[in-house]
Amino acid sequence: MAGLPKTIAKQQKGATSKGLMSREIKLPFIKEVPEKLVIEFTRNLAVMLKAKLPLLKALDTSIEQISHKRFKEIIGHVRKEVKRGRSLSQGMKNYSSVFDSIYIQLTEVGEVSGVLDDVLLRLSSYQEKAYKLKQKIRMALVYPSIIITVAIAAVSFLLVFVVPTFVDMYRDFDAQLPGPTQIILTVSEFLTQNLIIILFILFALFMLLRFLVKTEKGNRFVNILRLRIPYFGTMYSKGLVSQFTSTLSTLLHSGVTLSESLEVLKKSTSNSILNQEIAEMGTSIRKGKSLNKSLHKSLIFPIMVTQMISVGEETASLDEMLHQVGTLYEEEVDIMVEGLTSVIEPVLIVFIGLILGAIIVALYLPIFEMVNVVG
């Protein structure tokens, strides 16, 4: 496969800078175009090009098939650029929030080498795997968060709205209230009297944490914390390893050099720890060192991965070995996600039940004692 022209790295750098500027005015939690639609577009375009359909005609067909208004506009603009004589990758560079640096790099490789259809097929396969992996990890993290949030909401509702109805009733009691009941009533009284202040403090803490996370030190601290949380940290790091090795394998297999591939990966990752390690890999490669030696002090990549990469380098099959590592760790993430969802659901439900049950029992404890005394 033909090598890349030297201008690609410069063009990619310019596109990334432009992309960063455009991303600054967008809300970070809203995707301009759903990732699933981009995957479908890539796969369909690859199939049409494989069937020898001209690029312009393939883009016309894609535009007709797309129902998402914004994405239809974007592909329409890309088509106009192609019709003016620019390449597909050049037309996509204006939309870095939709087509990331990896997408642009691989598309450009396909154009230069004359196998755009094959590269797009490989790209769509990579996108699909990466998307599924992210969804699995996201669901594994979101599901317990939802249950915990519901539990906190239920407990708060009881303490703020239900418990106060018992206060007036127990004021008429001359007897000393049981300890658990007194604690519940005290907590409820504190919450109801200071609810606005508590909500304000929580909001201020949320905004402060959000600001700190955006700083370099804060972002690094959060990413280190993610990696060290029991079970979740292991699952998260395995996901990072799978995504990194699969992406690097795809880039190398498509004809991108190792040094250029690492540069593209550094621009596309959002994890500051991984970003720093990729930068160190790139520096080591430029100094003539092997990839596996630059991973020995890694916080993310385990020894087994470095050994497999070493074998790949020695046998001149690095892309294939990276693909195997990516597949292996994706399967391990699958197993961890399934294990987590099967265990955490009953545990959390029992935990929530115990908390709610304890509050209800504490509320009715004085009534039970009264019945015993009367009896």
Residue 240 Cα to chain centre, angstroms: 10
φ, ψ at 191 (rounded to 5°): -65, -45
Computed over every residue of the chain, the mean pLDDT equals: 84
Confidence of residue 173 (pLDDT cuts 50, 70, 90): low
Distance CA 109, CA 164 (A): 68
What residues have CB less than 8 Å from 330, skipping those under 6 apart?
A: 129, 133, 242, 246
Q: What's the confidence (pLDDT) of residue 64?
A: 94
Residues 91-119 have a mean pLDDT of 90
CATH code, residues 7-116: 1.20.81.30
Instruction: For residue 139, give the 3-state DSSP assignment.
Output: helix
Confidence of residue 63 (pLDDT cuts 50, 70, 90): very high
Confidence of residue 15 (pLDDT cuts 50, 70, 90): very low
- Is residue 352 predicted with pLDDT exceeding 80? yes
What residues have CB less than 8 Å from 47, skipping those under 6 apart?
A: 121
Residue (of 267, 270, 256, 252) closest to 13 by Cα position: 267
Domain boundaries 117-375, CATH class: mainly alpha
Residues 54 and 88 sit within 8 Å (Cβ to Cβ): no
- Is residue 19 predicted with pLDDT exceeding 60? no
Residues 88-113 have a mean pLDDT of 90
Q: What's the confidence (pLDDT) of residue 288?
A: 87
Residues above pLDDT 90, as percent of the chain: 35
**Which pTM value belongs to this model?**
0.72
Distance CA 281, CA 274 (A): 10
Where along the chain do its domains lie?
A: 7-116, 117-375
Confidence of residue 374 (pLDDT cuts 50, 70, 90): low
- Is residue 92 predicted with pLDDT exceeding 70? yes
Rg, C-alpha atoms of the chain? 28
